[in-house]
Amino acid sequence: MSQLFKKVLNAVRSFADPRTYLHVLRLFHYCGYSHVREKRKIVMGKGTGISPNVSLRNGERIVIGRDCHIGERCYLWAGDSTGRIIIGDYVSLAPEVFVTASDYRFETGKPFRQQPKNERDIRIGTDVWLGARVVVTAGVTIGDGCIVGAGAVVTKDLPAESIAAGVPARVIGNRAPTQAVPPHES
């Protein structure tokens, strides 16, 4: 058999294989379920980019400012009924950052999934950078100008212009106030 004939035969087999079309259906399902539907509900500022594989929950309770970058495989999970995620302008979330505005209560004698959730707002200020795999828990406020090191778990508020790292995250330094953030346009 000639090389050209083999290539044509393989192409015909590929088009005839039902798995090819099932894969397309899986892609449509993924876009509708995990990402696209919730993204439409988010209030998002001009110039903000969200990677296509970000996981979103309850997008109607997520607000993202202008000129932000939400990196690959990030998770923005607002609460089911009240917990909001509010992100300021010029914020960057590195890959795999996990932000959740709800968690379970821990009462004895009851499985945790049958317990009510604690939902509290998360506020991330302007000009904040969260490194790869940072976790931000419900009720936390991260002040303007903060930098949070990779792998940190933020369980308590962080003051403006601080540099934090660790599990749980703690302040390890301070940034000099920055003039790099352009003023808001009217």
Average pLDDT over residues 17-33: 69
Query: Which carries the bigger pLDDT value, residue 24 or residue 16?
Result: 16
For CA atoms 182, 160, 137, 164, give the dihedral sign: positive
Q: Model confidence over 56-84: pLDDT tens digits?
A: 999 999 999 999 999 999 999 999 999 99
Please enumerate in sequence order all residues whose Cβ is within 8 A of that of 134, keeping only pairs 6 or more positions apart, or say none.
93, 94, 97, 98, 148, 149, 150, 151, 152, 153, 154, 169
The yes-or-no verdict on residue 35 having pLDDT over 70 is no
Q: What is the percent of the chain where pLDDT is above 70?
A: 89
Report angle CA 23, 42, 131 to the nearest 5 degrees. 80
74-100: average pLDDT? 96
143 contacts 124 by C-beta, under 8 angstroms: no
Q: What is the pLDDT of residues 142-186, one digit of tens each?
A: 999 999 999 999 999 999 999 999 999 999 999 976 555 565 554
Q: Exposed, middle or buried by CB within 10 Å (0-12, 13-18, 19+), for 174? A: middle
Residue 138 has pLDDT above 90, yes or no: yes
Give dist(CA 128, CA 66) in Å, integer: 12
Choose the weakest-confidence range: 14-18, 34-38, 75-79.
34-38
Q: What is the mean pLDDT of the chain?
A: 88
Where do the domains of the chain lie, and which CATH numbers do they carry?
A: 1-40 (no CATH), 43-174 (2.160.10.10)
pLDDT at 37 over 60: yes
Across the range 102-131, mean pLDDT stands at 89
